[in-house]
């Protein structure tokens, strides 16, 4: 079971939620308006992936790309929790990238970066983990980010129910090597991680 809202050790997670609520009024970063629901649907949901990512990283620094990050979910949450990870959030909407830059400055997160771009046009060094929370179907997610995956790198998609229809449309050279079910405290909904890599 992942860490719940009561297990948040870093006060910057709460500061981030405060910024998200403040900027949301003008920038429409999320449809969730209630701070208590933000804590469950956004913060706890993203914190729940930390144990899996930490296990995958084996205690080593990682370069993480959060695709279609929106208001920084999960990228900001990960950057706060793991200062040794270099986290880049990319979004095609300029005001969302601007918000993540503001968060990085206000919360003193030198490991957090924001890019205003379409991910397929992103010219950055490759990443160890490419993740997304609500970006695109799996086949599109992989297709648009292939050039950004480091040798040995993986894709990790955050999904609700196991998306068997999406898995069935993946290219033949991509395998789902693990489907990991998550328990998010106080959230009455299915959550899973789809781990993918080249065959």
Does the pTM of the predicted model rise above 0.85?
yes
Task: Note the helical H segments in the chain.
Answer: 11-27, 35-38, 45-47, 50-57, 75-81, 94-106, 138-145, 164-168
pLDDT score of 5: 42
Q: What does the pLDDT read at residue 28?
A: 73
Pairing of β 191-198 and β 174-182 = antiparallel
pLDDT at site 8: 54
**Burial group, residue 105, by CB count within 10 angstroms (0-12, 13-18, 19+):** exposed
How confident is the model at residue 27, as a pLDDT? 78
Token pair belonging to 181: 């079910």
Alpha carbon distances (Å) from 52 to 55, 88, 123, 142, 165: 5, 19, 28, 20, 24
Distance (Å, whole) CA 191 – CA 98:
29
What is the structure's pLDDT at 9? 60
Res 39: pLDDT:
79
**pLDDT digits (tens), the chain, 199 positions:** 344 443 456 899 999 999 998 888 777 777 777 777 777 778 889 999 999 999 999 999 999 999 999 999 999 999 999 999 999 999 999 999 999 999 999 999 999 999 999 999 999 999 999 999 989 999 999 999 999 999 999 999 999 999 999 999 999 999 999 999 998 877 788 999 999 999 9
Q: Which residue has the tokens 């629901």?
A: 37
3-state helix, strand, coil split of the chain in percent (to 5) is: 40, 25, 35
In three-state secondary structure terms, 156 is strand
CATH architecture of residue range(s) 5-198? 3-Layer(aba) Sandwich (3.40)
**SS3 sequence of 174-189:** EEEEEEEEECCCCCCC
3-state secondary structure of 132: strand
């Amino acid at each position: 079971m992942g860490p719940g809202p009561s297990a948040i050790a870093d006060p910057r997670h709460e500061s981030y939620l405060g910024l998200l609520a403040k900027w949301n009024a003008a920038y429409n970063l999320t449809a969730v308006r209630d701070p208590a629901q933000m804590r469950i649907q956004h913060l706890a949901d993203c914190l729940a992936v930390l144990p899996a990512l930490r296990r995958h990283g084996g205690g080593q620094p990682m370069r993480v790309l959060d695709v279609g990050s929106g208001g920084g979910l999960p990228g900001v949450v990960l950057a706060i929790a793991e200062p040794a990870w270099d986290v880049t959030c990319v979004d095609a909407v300029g005001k969302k990238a601007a918000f993540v830059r503001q968060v990085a400055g206000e919360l003193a997160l030198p490991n957090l970066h924001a890019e205003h771009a379409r991910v397929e046009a992103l010219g950055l060094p490759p990443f160890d983990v490419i993740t997304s929370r609500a970006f695109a179907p799996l086949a599109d997610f992989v297709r648009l980010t292939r050039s950004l995956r480091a040798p040995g790198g993986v894709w990790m998609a955050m999904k609700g129910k196991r998306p068997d229809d999406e898995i069935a449309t993946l290219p033949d050279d991509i395998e789902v090597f693990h489907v990991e079910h998550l328990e998010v405290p106080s959230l009455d909904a299915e959550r899973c991680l789809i781990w993918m890599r080249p065959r």
